[in-house]
Chains A and B, each alone.
Chain A
Amino acid sequence: MGNRYSRYMAVSTAWVVAVGAVCYFGGLKTASAAGAQEQRPSSFNSGQVRPAEDPAKVIHGKALYAINCQACHGQDLRGGDMGGPNLLRSQVALTDQHGELIVPIIQGSRMSQGMPNIGLNDEDAGAVAAYIRSVIGTIGSQGTPPGEKDKPKLNIVVGDATRGKEYFAAHCASCHSATGDLKTIATTYPEPMQLQAAWVAGGGRNRSAVRKAPTVDVTVAQGKKISGELVRIDDFLVTLKQSDGTQRTFARKGAMPVVVVHDPMQAHRDMMPRYTDNDIHDVTAYLVTLK
């Protein structure tokens, strides 16, 4: 699906969730389970607060799940070797409110489709349903499965450091030095994945990373050149910060003023289409040694 946050200029949407007396239009319902702790809303359905499950029931259900269900449906509910479907993306599991959909299936309503009758009574099957719902409630936004962030980290450093060093000498050493500005880059970015992204991008979001700001020369009509740090530029205006800290803005119209931007990052942008993935992995393997 589309509509990802990353595709948008950030738009601040302030959610104010007032938990308290819930007033339904028409007064058909009263707020359920007053005082029950509400779970953090599952972020794939932001705003919707799933009702809290009874912790004791969930613990009981988890044990029953391990005994009766795990072999087919997997410890993480994602399905298993014996052909049980993934429950995390089951429409039944996603929409079950209080066991009304899951319990009958546990008790044999889908035997024709290969789901055996597990033979649990209402209470036990209900506890399993509560456990399943509690896991579903932890699905992250855009379908990130539960536990995704807790997985053991895979080693992404697979490149050849020797070749990486050669590549660095050939392509990076005109601006950077392994004994100078980058000598502690692996300390600055202890996570290789972050380090790799940071060097390819030409600086990361890490605060200790110093990113060189672009400078700009603006030559106005009389051959007079004003230089400074680039504050902003578009087709119509250019703003620079002079050495004394003051800002100046120039209108851009036609050939004058002549605007020349010196952006140390440009080399990084120019390189992007040229790297092979092996180049990147090799340079990363080299850079992780610079502590």
Chain B
Amino acid sequence: MKRTYTLSIASLLLSSAFSFCQGSGVAPEELLKPLKNDWPTYNGDYTGKRYSALTQVNRLTVKNLSLAWFSRMTPGRDAAAPSARGPQGPQVPLIVGGEGPDNINIRAGSIKGSVLAVDGTLYVTMPDNAWAIDARDGHQLWHYFWKTKGGTHIGNRGFGMWNGYLFMETPDDYLVSLDAKTGKERWHKMIANVEEGYFATPAPIVIGNHVLVGMGNDIDSPGFLQSFDPETGELQWKFYTVPMKKGDPGADTWKSIDAARHGGAQTWITGAYDPETKLYIFGTGNPTPAYTTGLRGDLDNLFTCSLIAVNVDTGKMAWYFQTSPHDMHDYDSAQTPVLIDGVFKGKMRKMVATAARNGYYFLVDRVTGEHLVTAKYGETTNWAKGLTPAGGPKRDPDKDATVAGSLASPNSGGTINWEPVTFSPVTKLFYTYEDDSFSILHLTDTDPRGSMGLGGKEEMYVGGTGSYLSALDYRTGVARWRHKFYSYGGLGGGGLLSTAGGLVFTGDAAGNLVAFDAADGKLLWNTRIGNISNAPQTFEMDGHQYVICASGDTLWSFILH
């Protein structure tokens, strides 16, 4: 009896040491539900709202929010140094993949993406690296390391998940699928050619039996979105965001097909999905060459700087709306689209809203693509005058780069950049960063054949008037309140989160994680942990609501005590 008892304890201990209490992952139908206890996809749910229904942490209780744990990730092959902060745990399994020569070791990295929180486990990424972490204490369950061939290493926005499988993109353009329980690689597929300047930062998004994969590029290559089979990794469809042959839609908005085929429009931020129409809605990047127009002609250069809706099963475009017609400032419009159901001019409508890098806010009917609102939310935005017939901002050619220099706002970083925004259906406010910055843009290449990529200009950053957290009325794009950050030339942090507890969380550009009252912007709580490098997130476990965020290589977790 006794012996059996001891044995069973031992086996219990053993099994608990080797099973990570991870469930079956994320069933595709789970992703159709609004964001609540878990955080199973990049934006929490398909709407892009980043609005959590959790209320335990709220206006009244947030003052008691305090540290549960923090956990530091060391990228690269080297196992993390023994922690001085606690007993040495078991060796973390290291899984190595990749096709690179293994002579490049990145010893520092930053968490600039979203963490998946599923069944008590957190899945975290950096370029070339991924970890599974126990959400109860922050200890690592496995570490996956990818031997890179190169590519721009600037950020990784996180995982997509389909049942028990994880999907991440690498800077050298592979889609990698891992088994969530063990971190073991299932397969990897080349999704673009790194030699053509492609590099991948986005978080894949899983919709039904599709893994949608976006892409980035800073030289003159066409943008595209691809859909892969989650089980086999086979390509299902590939949608080019620029015309690739004569007669393609939008071809007549380019000087030549060659210009279109080198025209950019990258797909580097994860979009939103509307299950009713089966439309996946995402934004596209700037045209290339970005600052010179000789090769592109003077027309709109579709479908750069646009919101695009494609049918998720076929990859065919249903509608588009261009937010920066004929961009000349590197204001790409990949920013997160947010799905909003609400009243507009007295009628219930299904809409999509986005705050673009170019300083303008847009509201569009998400079923038809009909344009509803264009509003300047960046106070100092000065590159456009009035609207085009289609409703986009009408570029002022005087504000293009000139030899003597043109003072343009915002600078190339934009009024907002990659950082996720949030929308609260309770306050009806769309929360965004607003960085009112200026640059003097000098044209350095007067060659009519154009430059390439982002070349041909010199950008002199000269500062700005301020950066803000701005709460826009979604129906007008007009700010109901703005909170000025104590920084000039820099956003608050890595993005935003709103909750049913009446809060908005973000970094503040001065090293604090801050909770604001969502209704009026009042400061309710802060903790000084360093500049927040991703968008705060929240989930519930064991009856506790957790708030998590990252600062550089460290993940922080807070609960009410």
Contacts and interface: CB of A to CB of B under 8 A. Distances in A.
Interface of A: 1-9, 11-20, 22-25, 41, 44-49, 74, 78-80, 85-86, 88-89, 91, 94-95, 139-145, 148, 151, 154-159, 193-194, 196-197, 200-202, 232-236, 268-270, 272-273, 275, 277, 280-281
A4 B201 contact: no
A55 to B, nearest CB: 22
Interface of B is mostly: loop
Nearest to A252: B523
Interface in B375-428: 379-380, 382, 398, 402-407, 409, 411-414, 417-418
A144 B382 CA distance: 26
A41 to B, nearest CB: 7
Given A7-B413, A14-B107, A235-B508, A45 B197 contact: yes
Interface stretch (B148-156, B320-328, B358-366): B148-156
Contacts of B223: 1
Q: 3 tightest CB-CB pairs across the interface, nearest first?
A: A143-B453, A48-B150, A234-B510
Interface in B202-221: 216-221
B266 interface: yes
B438 interface: yes
8 contacts: A1-B264, A2-B334, A74-B449, A94-B196, A94-B197, A145-B451, A196-B405, A272-B465
Contacts of A159: 404
B368 interface: no
Given A3-B218, A142-B218, 17 more contacts: A1-B286, A4-B330, A11-B108, A11-B110, A15-B105, A47-B149, A48-B195, A89-B221, A143-B220, A143-B451, A145-B455, A156-B403, A193-B405, A193-B458, A200-B462, A234-B486, A277-B405
A154 B154 contact: no
Interface in B61-118: 101-110, 112
Interface residues of B, number: 106
A86 B451 CA distance: 10
Given A1-B266, A7-B417, A280 B405 contact: yes
A9 B490 contact: yes
A41 B103 CA distance: 13
A263 B450 CA distance: 42
B268 A2 contact: yes
B445 interface: yes
Nearest to A12: B108
B152 A270 contact: no
Nearest to B440: A197
Interface string B322-366: 000000001010100000000000000000000001000000000
B194 A148 contact: no
Contacts of B147: 25
Contacts of A234: 486, 508, 510-512
B306 interface: no
Of A7, A159, A232, the most chain B CB neighbours within 10 A belong to A7
A154 B438 CA distance: 22
A12 B445 CA distance: 31
Interface in B450-488: 450-456, 458-466, 486, 488
B120 interface: no
A267 to B, nearest CB: 12
